[in-house]
Amino acid sequence: MQKSVVFDFDGVIIDSLEVQRKAFFDSFQVVSNGPLPSFEEFLGHSGDSIPNIFSKMNLPLSMVEHYRRIASSNIHLIEIVEGMEEILRFIQNEGWKCGLCTGKDRKRTIHILKEFELIDYFDTVVCSDDVTHPKPHPESLLLAIEQLHSNVDHSVFVGDGKNDLICAREAQVKSIAVAWGHNSVEVLQQESPSYFAYSVDELRHALQNLFHHPRVSL
């Protein structure tokens, strides 16, 4: 059976924190002159779609189009997490399939992947607007695994958010939580990931253990 690694995008492969912060506050100020909402709460919902997050935060849905427009026009503020392109190349060289499962919409996701020349590393890309139920629901992850011609026993999901780990658990897929993203280690540990990676090197070792260790049923 084909082995597959599925990644979350923001906070794992790319550092888009400043873009998200700007788009969040600027889009709110376009539609409201009220007190600024909590950016920390916004980040706590990462992995879900922007419309769902704004609904959960009781924010105007009219923010959505402004958020996406502002985020797209500030793509230059995004950086690739140091060492992650090497990890993607390593996965490719191992012959494993590689997928992306993100709460971003498809238009912005493909734009960023092409802009930063990352798109060729991914055999499939599943975005929040490709499914009925985005993360933390398991639908998007299961779709990615299906498109990679793999199954839940031969796959792992790498994420930096609570919703990523809930999604993996609900899909019955092993998970690797990374510590360099937008959520605290304490919050992630509460979701009991299969592995925890504090560095990109530890992520590589976790992947090698999952796919090469004789006692792991992968």
Q: How confident is the model at residue 213 (pLDDT cuts 50, 70, 90)?
A: low
pLDDT digit string (tens) for 34-53? Answer: 999 999 999 999 999 999 99
Delimit the domains of the chain by residue range: 4-14+79-212, 16-77
- The closest alpha carbon to 159, from 146, 148, 140, belongs to 140
Distance between CA atoms of residues 79 and 59, nearest Å: 28
Residue 191: is its pLDDT beyond 70?
Answer: yes
pLDDT digit string (tens) for 84-117? Answer: 999 999 999 999 999 999 999 999 999 999 999 9
* Cα-based distances in Å from 122 to 92, 101, 119, 129, 185: 9, 10, 6, 18, 27
Residue 160: is its pLDDT beyond 60?
Answer: yes
Report the pLDDT value the prediction gives residue 182, as an integer from 0 to 100. 84
Residues 14, 216 contacting (CB under 8 angstroms): no
* Mean pLDDT to the nearest integer, 179-190: 92
- The closest alpha carbon to 162, from 105, 103, 80, belongs to 103
pLDDT digit string (tens) for 129-150? Answer: 999 999 999 999 999 999 999 9
* Cα-based distances in Å from 201 to 9, 80, 82, 99, 196: 18, 16, 11, 20, 12
Q: Kindly report the pTM of this predicted structure.
A: 0.93
Residue 217: is its pLDDT beyond 50?
Answer: no
Distance between CA atoms of residues 169 and 130, nearest Å: 21
Residue 68: is its pLDDT beyond 70?
Answer: yes
Distance between CA atoms of residues 57 and 103, nearest Å: 16
Domain 4-14+79-212 has CATH 3.30.465.10: no
Percent of the chain with pLDDT over 70: 97
DSSP-derived 3-state class of residue 178 = strand
Percent of the chain with pLDDT over 90: 94
Report the pLDDT value the prediction gives residue 212, as an integer from 0 to 100. 76
